[in-house]
Amino acid sequence: MEYQDELKARIQHVNAVLRDYMPKETGFQKTLLAAMNYSVDAGGKRMRPIMMECAYQMYGGKDAQAAPFMAAMEMIHTSS
């Protein structure tokens, strides 16, 4: 697989993980949640969670146990 294709696939995977952990924009707090999600939805290279997942897999990880940590790292990074 070409580098650009691999990177694009990994970014899409990270974006899917982030969507799973971002709060749903419903109820009275909809405006606040939309503002919180805005910075994460802005996009980016997503290199931090990609590197975290690669390291996890390199040391034998095969399931999605790293997913919440990947999401947390990217959310903290994008909100600061």
Q: What is the pLDDT of residues 13-38, one digit of tens each?
A: 999 999 999 999 999 999 999 998 99
Q: Is residue 2 very low, low, confident or very high in pLDDT (cuts 50, 70, 90)? A: very high
CB atoms within 10 A of CB 46: 23
| 43 pLDDT higher than 90 | no
Higher-confidence residue: 38 or 1?
Answer: 38
The model's pTM is: 0.88
Q: Where are the domains of the chain?
A: 45-79
Instruction: Compute the distance between CA of residue 9 and CA of residue 28 in angstroms, rounded to an integer.
Output: 35
* pLDDT in the model for residue 1: 77
